[in-house]
């Protein structure tokens, strides 16, 4: 390995509750600067995700998914061809895997584009935007901060699992294909279970609300995990509403599509409003008292209302998809 260094100008890296969506934006904007967070999270599907552990609403829910396929598919819908490398089952990378990942990251930065990685300072997604061979360290930012990351710590963070995604190429994609693909991703997530195994008992999409309610009915809710999930899902639905607010103008030349986008915007705002009422009850990171019977009943009522609004939102997405097709 040659002794070299490279640092990209990332002073204005974006922040937000869905670290995967934020990390994608912070990479994509070096290639396609017109995108903002609602567009990125909408087109990649992250604005519509919900994934809840029915046992206790654990903190891992928002990041417990098939990273490779979701990132690659989502980035492709932004006109980005990506390559990913990952170690699974909480196994740290071998020396050869680490060497491959370091080379991928350095090549991406040399090309002027930050890499996306996992669990650098905390088990969340973030960006690697620089490296220094002499110091054997990356410059890395995630929700826990912006600080050096020793090469040897890549994939050896709090959970011993390596994931790196880098851009290989960019291409043009038309708005009809983008909208169609985004709607298909959102509907699939809402209607079908993504997980191959019964345990942990994760449920995504509309059934995610049922799993959430189940945990509250059992009185076994994680204070920290529940508060985190509420903030992530509520923020994502607000972003989804902003995405459709933008789309209704983007498609103003097609009255039917524009009107359906307006309807979807209204429904996702309704979901966000119901969940927002729980944020004060369950502040992050303190968590509040989710297993207190009075709080549990309030939460169950709000989650049922949020699920009904999201059910209606998904119906609008299906109408939109038929119209776009």
Residue with tokens 């939109």: 320
Which pLDDT value is given to residue 2? 53
58: tokens are 């654990």
Residue numbers of the chain with a pLDDT score lower than 70: 1-2, 10-15
CA–centroid distance for 170 within its chain: 21
Radius of gyration, alpha carbons of the chain: 20
Buried b (16+ CB within 10 A) or exposed e, 165-198: bbbeebeeeeeeebbbbbbbbbbebbeeebeeee
* Cα–Cα nearest to 186, from 317, 77, 52: 317
140: CB partners within 8 A, 6+ apart: 117, 120, 121, 126, 127, 128, 129, 146, 147, 148, 149
121: CB partners within 8 A, 6+ apart: 140, 142, 144, 145, 147, 149, 157
Q: What is the pLDDT of residues 237-277, one digit of tens each?
A: 999 999 999 999 999 999 999 999 999 999 999 999 999 99
Which pLDDT value is given to residue 1? 42
Reduced to 3 states (helix: H, G, I; strand: E, B; else coil), residue 181 is helix
Q: Which helix (H) or strand (E) holds 139?
A: strand 137-142
Which pLDDT value is given to residue 89? 82
31: CB partners within 8 A, 6+ apart: 80, 113, 167, 170
Task: Give the chain's largest Cα–Cα span.
Answer: 62
CB neighbourhood size of 147 (10 A):
13
């Amino acid at each position: 390995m040659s002794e070299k260094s490279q640092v990209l100008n990332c002073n204005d890296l974006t922040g937000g509750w869905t670290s995967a969506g934020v990390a994608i934006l912070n990479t994509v904007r070096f290639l396609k600067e017109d995108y903002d967070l609602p567009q990125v999270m909408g087109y990649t599907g992250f604005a519509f995700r919900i994934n809840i552990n029915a046992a206790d609403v654990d903190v891992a829910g928002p990041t417990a998914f098939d990273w490779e396929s979701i990132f690659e598919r989502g980035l492709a819908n932004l006109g980005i061809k990506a390559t990913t490398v990952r170690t699974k089952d909480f196994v740290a990378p071998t020396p050869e895997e680490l060497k491959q990942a370091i080379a991928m990251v350095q090549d991406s930065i040399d090309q002027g584009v930050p890499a996306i990685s996992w669990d650098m300072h905390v088990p969340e997604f973030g960006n690697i935007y620089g490296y220094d061979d002499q110091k054997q360290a990356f410059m890395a930012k995630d929700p826990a901060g912006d600080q050096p990351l020793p090469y040897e710590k890549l994939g050896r963070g709090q959970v011993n699992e390596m994931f790196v995604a880098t851009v290989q190429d960019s291409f043009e994609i038309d708005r009809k294909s983008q909208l169609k693909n985004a709607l298909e991703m959102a509907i699939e997530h809402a209607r079908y279970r993504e997980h191959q195994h019964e345990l942990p008992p994760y449920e995504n999409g509309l059934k995610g609300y049922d799993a959430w309610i189940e945990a509250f009915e059992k009185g076994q809710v994680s204070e920290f995990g529940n508060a985190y999930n509420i903030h992530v899902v509520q923020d994502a639905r607000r972003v989804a509403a902003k995405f459709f607010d933008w789309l209704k103008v983007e498609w103003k030349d097609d009255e039917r599509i524009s009107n359906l986008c307006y309807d979807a915007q209204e429904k996702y705002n309704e979901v966000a409003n119901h969940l927002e009422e729980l944020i004060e009850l369950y502040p992050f990171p303190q968590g509040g008292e989710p297993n207190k019977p009075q709080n549990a009943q309030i939460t169950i009522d709000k989650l049922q209302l949020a699920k009904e609004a999201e059910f209606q939102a998904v119906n609008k997405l299906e109408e939109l998809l038929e119209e776009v097709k």
